[in-house]
Amino acid sequence: MIKNKRIGVFTSGGDSPGMNAAIRAVVRTAIFNNLEVIGIKRGFEGMIDNDMIEMNSQSVSNIIQRGGTILKTARSKKFITEEGMNMAAENLKKQNIEGLVALGGDGTFRGCFEFRMRHNISSIGVPCTIDNDLFGTDFTIGYDTAINTAMEAIDKIRDTADSHNRLFFIEVMGRDAGFIALRSGIGGGAEAILVPETKTDIPHLISILEKGWNRNKSSCIVVVAEGDESGGAYDIAKQVKEHFDYYDTRVSILGHMQRGGNPTCMDRVLASRLGVAAVEALIAGRENEMVGVIHRDIEFTPFEKATKHNLDINLNLLRIQEILAT
């Protein structure tokens, strides 16, 4: 239970569209429940440096539509040390903060778990990552915006590919997971999608491209997750071009544009639901859990399970993509 009537909220790790909407939901839900809320800037770094501000309803006005995070974010090497954790705990105690809402992903929740093991500070995690790779929620905040950003880029690249009879290899984010590549590739009508979860078969890829050429396709798109085991888009394009040079081949790296932009309605609503649920969970005495939505219902998953049991990719979607690309 929150006895001191004061909680903290922070964003950590990589930013994702919808973080601001989640901050807004946390702050206003806290105020609605007569709690004070402290914004901690730059994640765990801000805890160590005592970089904190009091927040009110006006603090989060007109931010639901903005990408990024008004609290800034960082990855902290100091926090993983005992000295860093001790400094962070001392600063939180000075501020009378006894509960935290952590907006982030795998690394953020691991940090919160270790923090609770050493110091008596409760945390509830809100999944904010464009990779959608956390166990315990159907979708993470930022994922829907990221796949729509990637799909819009694929659509634009298709226009120029059609105009020049080109083969484009488009690299999207996904170092360890291919969720962005899979959804944006299907949505963008890609001829092939390469993800870290499956072994890339270059001869099979060439066969797919040859079939497209033989059907007089004016362009081909191959979407590549950056973590594919055969290398990034440049490496794979080079391997393909050595054996298949019919199309004029180009490579496009979408990069960090996928993290930015105004969050979609889906992400804004998800962030609002999870932000409210996180504060209510702290009030109810829950701790060391991530809040998520599973089959449309709010569910809680222990940090240890959420970070150790990553979601499996839906291999049936890869099968569907190959059917539709014929």
CB neighbours of residue 290 within 10 Å:
31
> Strand 248-253 and strand 52-55: pairing?
unpaired
Asked if 115 and 89 count as a contact pair (C-beta separation under 8 A), the reply is yes
Please give the full DSSP string across 38-80, using - where no structure is assigned: EEETTHHHHHHHT-EEEE-GGGGTT-TT--S-TT-----SGGG
- What residue spans of 119-260 are helical by DSSP H? 143-164, 179-187, 202-214, 233-243
Asked if 23 and 70 count as a contact pair (C-beta separation under 8 A), the reply is yes
3-state secondary structure of 230: coil
Asked if 104 and 13 count as a contact pair (C-beta separation under 8 A), the reply is yes
Distance, in Å, from the CA atom of 17 to the CA atom of 223, rounded to the nearest integer, reads 22
Distance, in Å, from the CA atom of 166 to the CA atom of 154, rounded to the nearest integer, reads 13
Distance, in Å, from the CA atom of 46 to the CA atom of 36, rounded to the nearest integer, reads 18
Active site residue 248: no
Sign of the Cα torsion 84, 86, 91, 95 reads positive
Distance, in Å, from the CA atom of 190 to the CA atom of 183, rounded to the nearest integer, reads 10
Beta sheet of 220-225, edge-to-edge order:
192-194, 220-225, 166-172, 248-253
* Residue in the structure block whose two tokens are 């979708």: 139
Distance, in Å, from the CA atom of 39 to the CA atom of 294, rounded to the nearest integer, reads 28
Active-site pick, 15, 106, 131, 267? 131
Task: List residues with catalytic annotation.
Answer: 131
